Amino acid sequence: MENQGLYLTPFQRKLLLKNLEADLRLEYQRRIEIMLLADAGQSQAQICEALGCSQETARYWIAIASSGLHHWSDRPMGRPKAVNEEYLNRLKELAKNSPRHYGYPFERWTAQWLSKHLAKELGIEVSSCHINRLLKEMGLSTRQKRSNSQLSSNDTKDSSISIPDLQLSRL
């Protein structure tokens, strides 16, 4: 008969050990190791020392192991993503149209106004800096593009220096 752990069933322990052999991200490996060490009777302090993790991390994953280990791998890494596909599609649609189509008195969007509008419409708050990053990834911008005719007419207007043809004088 297999050794009985503190928290895990023999099947759960085998499953974690099998997952540990797979090519997992370091964070997932650490989660598994914490749960296996806790199941083997290691204290939180011993786990932190052995794995070099924080007390909060060890405490959290010991609690997950002790609560039955259901869906441990479903817990996402890092901050949750606020922006989804619907948000990106709506941002693209708004950026390609004038704000006047949506009842605003101005002609060009700013990242701040896009952020406010989308927060009101979809309930997802994103900073104006992040809006600019998303627009850049989509190849869009809130800045007005200058046309070639504007560029050439501005260039000739701004040039106040002229260089006449120089004739070489012979000595």
pLDDT at residue 78, rounded to an integer: 57
pLDDT at residue 163, rounded to an integer: 58
| Mean pLDDT on 48-56 | 93
User: How does pLDDT run across 14-29, given as a tens digit for each residue?
Assistant: 888 888 888 888 888 8
- Percent of the chain whose pLDDT exceeds 90: 40
pLDDT at residue 168, rounded to an integer: 63
pLDDT at residue 1, rounded to an integer: 44
DSSP-derived 3-state class of residue 130 = helix
Whether residue 69 has pLDDT greater than 80: no
pLDDT at residue 162, rounded to an integer: 57
Whether residue 2 has pLDDT greater than 80: no
Q: By the 8 A CB rule, do 108 and 142 touch?
A: yes
User: Average pLDDT, whole number, for the chain?
Assistant: 81
pTM given for the model? 0.43
The vertex-44 CA angle with 42 and 48, nearest 5°, equals: 100
CA distances from 93 to 87, 99, 102, 130, 156 (A): 10, 11, 11, 17, 36
User: How does pLDDT run across 79-127, given as a tens digit for each residue?
Assistant: 556 788 888 999 999 999 999 999 999 999 999 999 999 989 888 888 9
pLDDT at residue 72, rounded to an integer: 55
DSSP secondary structure letter of residue 52: T
Whether residue 60 has pLDDT greater than 70: yes
Task: At 31, list the tokens.
Answer: 């989660």
Whether residue 149 has pLDDT greater than 60: no
Is the four-CA dihedral 128, 136, 100, 124 of positive or negative sign?
Answer: negative
